[in-house]
Amino acid sequence: MAFPGSRYARLLWRHLPILLAGVLSGYFVGTNKTEIRRALQDVDYSQFNHTTESTLPVRAAIVALVRNSDLFGLRQAMRQIEDRFNSRYNYPYIFVNDVPFTDEFKQGVSYLTKAHVEFGTLDHDSWRVPEWIDQERYEQVKRTARYPHGEKDSYRKMCRFQSGYLHRHPLLKDLEYYWRIEPDVEYFCDIDYDPFMFMKQSGFKYGWNIAMPEFMDTIRTLWNTTQQFIREYPEYLAKHNLKEWLVDSSGNYNGCHFWSNFEIVDLSFYRSPAYQAYFDYLDRAGGFFYERWGDAPVHSIAAALFLNASQVHYFDDIGYFHPHVYTCPTGSRQRGRCVCDPDQSIVQNGFCNVRFRNTKHQILYPDSPTAAYTGPVNHARPQVASD
C-alpha cells in the first residue's frame, strides 16, 4: 500500500507493524471482478444543505477529547474539516481535556475557524480507576500485557471516558448530534452537504466510515459479558438488529467494530436506557482495566444490538485517513471532489465492511436474491503486537 505524499510514507513506515498485522496480512478470496450492488439507492445529498446565514437545523457540534500536546495534530484536522465542510456551516467545536487547556492551545485552534469553540475539563468520576477495580490484579495485567497500550493507565481511562462519559459532559448536554474527530486525521473529499441534517432527516442514529477487526486479546471477555447483559435485559435488543454482523458461524464475536475516531451519532442513542445500562454493566465488570476494552467495540456492539439496521449508516462518500488506515470512496476519480486514490484503499472490501453491508442488505431486503457486495474480500485480522 502506498499513500500519496511523503508524509504518508513516513506515517506508513512508523505504523508498519500494525498495518501489516491489521490489513496486509490477510488474503483475498472471491471473484476476479468487483461487483457492488448497493443496499440503498444513491442519495441526492443536495437536499441536506443550507447556508451559513440560516439557523443551524440541528443542535450539533464537532467534538474531541485532546491534550495540550495535540495542538499541531488537531490544527491539521481542523484545517481540513474547515476546508472540506465547516467553513460553510460553522458548527461549533467542543474540546475536552483531563487538565485545563493552555492559552496557547485555545488561541491555536480558535484562529482556524469562525465557529464558536468551547473548552472543558473532565470531572474526577469520569477520569479515574474506579474503586471496585482490584489494584493488584490490574497492576499484574499492565506488567504482562502484550498488546498496544497495554501498560497505560491513561489509555484505559480514555477508553472508559469515551465509552460512557463524553456524551454526558456538561458542554454536550444540549446537543442532538456530535461528530467526533481526533488529531492527525485527514479528510480527502469535499463534503458538500450537512451530515448532521442528513442523519436527522434520514432517521440514522449512528454513522461510521471504517470497520476493522479488533485486537482480540484486548477484549477476551467482552462478548461473554455482553451476552450476560442481554440475558438479563432482553428488552433492550432491537427487533431488526445487526447481531449477525458481529458473530461467526459458532456465535462467537468476530471482532468487527467501527473505528470510533470517526463517528457521527445521535446522542439520544448514548443517552438511552439501553446504552447507559450496558455501559454501567461493562464498567462494573472491570474489563476496561483488567483487559483493555476500547470504546470502538463497545460503541459498535451497542449500535449493532440496540439499534435497528436501518438506523446505522455507512458514510462511504467521505474519504478519510487515520494514522493507521486510509479509505477513499469508490469512483472518486470520476466525481472529482477527492484527493485520494481509491485503488490504494482496501478497507472498503475488508471483511468487516463487506459483512456489514451484506448483513444490513439482508435485513432490509430479506427477499433479495443477491448480496450487497459480491467481489473479493480482505480477511485480514490484527495479531497480538507490542506497542
Known catalytic residues?
Answer: 263
For the beta sheet containing 320-322, the strands, ordered from the edge strand earlier in sequence to the opposite edge, are 186-187, 320-322, 325-327
At residue 368, φ and ψ (nearest 5 deg) are -70, 130
Query: How many C-beta atoms surround the C-beta of residue 312 within 10 A?
Result: 21
**DSSP secondary structure of 232-269:** H-GGGS-TT--HHHHB-TTS-B--EEE-TTSEEEEHHH
Closest residue by Cα to residue 265 from 201, 193, 178 = 178
Report the chain's C-alpha Rg in angstroms: 20
10 Å CB burial of residue 135 (0-12, 13-18, 19+) is exposed
Closest residue by Cα to residue 109 from 165, 63, 155 = 63
Q: How far apart are CA 297 and CA 212, in angstroms?
A: 10
